[in-house]
């Protein structure tokens, strides 16, 4: 497996000069929660990996951690890379990952994910392209349309993109029900018009739960049952 240079990866986690396009979809908010968002709940929020499937994330290659203030969670991928050109097999040009998470929240609260920052490293030859896609849904509910970001070579740097949902369109987990939160992602590399003898690749290093790079929770309090 090709490994991007660590010194460059650590230089900066910022969006490069590659062209990026985003698609923001509008969703219908779930019923059963109060109309305004709340502060993060006290107590422990835990996120467990219920299942992981896909060519980009073998079992054991994705890890989850929750921020201490319950504002976000981090998913770290260790093997998520798509590559093309240079004799690489055609099947390596598209990788995907379906991650199903079991989110345990304090009683009386429910959550949505308001925005997500993805980070990675790209090495694209001039004329090559890379694509990152993601969609999200709760178990038993409709899947969102893909949010798509495209990169154009020449690129040899870290990349970062954000998927955002407006507060009026947030989809909250139904109150009082335990439903898995599913993250469906895809990563592509295509030689395009580049030199087919040279390898281009895109990696997803992590989706990071720090203040600037998050699967960021929005919280609501559920109505009291009488």
pLDDT tens figures, 80-120: 999 999 999 999 999 999 999 999 999 899 999 988 889 89
Q: What is the DSSP string of 88-127?
A: --GGGGEEEEEEEEEEE--TTEEEEEEEEEEEEEEEE-TT
Q: What is the pLDDT of residue 4?
A: 55
Q: What was the pLDDT predicted at 205?
A: 72
- Residue 54 has what pLDDT? 94
Split at pLDDT 50, 70, 90, the class of 168 is low
CB 117 within 8 Å of CB 54: no
Q: Would you state the pLDDT for residue 83?
A: 97
Q: Is the pLDDT assigned to residue 30 strictly greater than 60?
A: no
Q: State the Cα–Cα distance between residues 223 and 219, nearest whole angstrom.
A: 13
Using CA atoms, how far apart are residues 199 and 88, in angstroms rounded to an integer?
7
pLDDT in tens, 138-162: 998 877 767 899 999 999 999 999 8
Find out whether 207 and 116 touch, Cβ atoms under 8 Å: yes
- The overall average pLDDT reported for the chain is 80
Q: Is pLDDT of 56 > 50? A: yes
Residue 83 in contact with residue 200, Cβ under 8 Å? yes
Q: What is the pLDDT of residue 224?
A: 76
* Contact yes or no for 142/60 (Cβ under 8 A): no
pLDDT of residue 21: 29
Of residues 36 and 122, more confidence is placed in 122
Q: How confident is the model at residue 211 (pLDDT cuts 50, 70, 90)?
A: very low
Which tops the pLDDT comparison, 208 or 47?
47
Mean pLDDT of 123-140: 94
CA gap 121, 81 in Å, rounded: 9
Gap between the Cα atoms of 124 and 17, Å rounded: 12
Buried b (16+ CB within 10 A) or exposed e, 117-127: bbbbbbbbbeb
189's tokens: 């590399």
Tabulate helix, strand, coil % of the chain (nearest 5).
Answer: 5, 45, 50
Q: What residues have CB less than 8 Å from 84, skipping those under 6 apart?
A: 90, 92, 93, 128, 189, 190, 191, 199, 200, 201
Q: For position 164, what pLDDT does the model report?
A: 84
């Amino acid at each position: 497996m090709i490994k991007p240079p660590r010194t460059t990866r650590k230089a900066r986690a910022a969006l490069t000069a590659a062209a990026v396009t985003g698609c923001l979809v509008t969703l219908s908010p779930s019923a059963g929660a109060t109309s305004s968002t709340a502060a993060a709940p006290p107590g422990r929020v835990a996120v467990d990996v219920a299942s992981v499937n896909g060519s980009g994330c073998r079992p054991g290659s994705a890890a989850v951690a929750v921020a201490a203030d319950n504002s976000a969670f981090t998913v770290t991928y260790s093997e998520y890379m798509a590559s093309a050109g240079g004799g690489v097999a055609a099947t390596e040009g598209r990788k995907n990952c379906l991650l199903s998470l079991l989110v345990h929240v304090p009683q009386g609260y429910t959550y949505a994910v308001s925005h997500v920052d993805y980070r990675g490293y790209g090495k694209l030859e001039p004329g090559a392209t890379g694509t990152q896609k993601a969609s999200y849904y709760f178990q038993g509910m409709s899947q969102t349309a893909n949010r798509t970001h495209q990169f154009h070579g020449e690129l040899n740097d870290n990349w970062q993109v954000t998927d955002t949902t407006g507060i009026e369109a947030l989809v909250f987990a139904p109150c009082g029900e335990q439903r898995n939160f599913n993250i469906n992602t895809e990563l592509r590399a295509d030689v395009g018009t580049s030199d087919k003898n040279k390898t281009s690749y895109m990696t997803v290093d992590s989706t990071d739960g720090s203040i600037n790079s998050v699967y960021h929770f929005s919280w609501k309090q559920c109505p009291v049952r009488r």
